Amino acid sequence: MGAALASLEVAFGLDGLYCPRCGRVIFDDEISWDESTCPHVRFVRDWVGELWIAEPASVPAHQHAYQSWLAARLEGGLQELSIGDLAHRLPDSCLLLTVAEPGPRRDRGGATVTVALDLDPTAEAR
C-alpha cells in the first residue's frame, strides 16, 4: 500500500486549499503553510518549486522515522523522485495531492503544487 494519490487540474487558479481532516487552511491568497496552519501537512512544493517540509521533531513520535526519511530524501529534489515511488514509501494514512493549473502560472515557471498530508487521527503535529 502506501499513500493515496490524487491529482486535480484547476483551470482558473486555486484560491485556497483546505485540509480534508481538520478543515484548516493549507494555503490561500494570504496564508502560506507552516505548522500553525494545518498540522497534517508533511510537505508542500509550491507553484514555483519552493519546498516546505515539516520538521521531524514537530510530528508525533511514531511518525518521526518516516518524516526524517522524507525530509532527507526531499533535500535531493522532489523532481528526481517519482510521485509513485514517494507514495509507496509513505504510510497508508498519507495523501499525496497534486494540483495542476494550466494557464498563466505555467508561463511563470511553475504550475503544479504538491502537498503531502498525513490524515491519521493521531497525526497532528505538535
Residue 95 CB neighbour total at 10 angstroms: 20
The residue among 19 and 59 lying less far from Zn ion, judged by its C-beta, is: 19
Stretch that binds Zn ion, among 34-42, 49-57, 71-79, 99-107 (CB under 5 A): 34-42
Binding of residue 17 to Zn ion (CB under 5 A): no
Site for Zn ion in 37-56 (CB under 5 A): 38, 40
Stretch that binds Zn ion, among 7-15, 31-39, 78-86, 87-95 (CB under 5 A): 31-39
Could you list the residues that contact Zn ion (CB under 5 A)? Answer: 19, 21-22, 38, 40
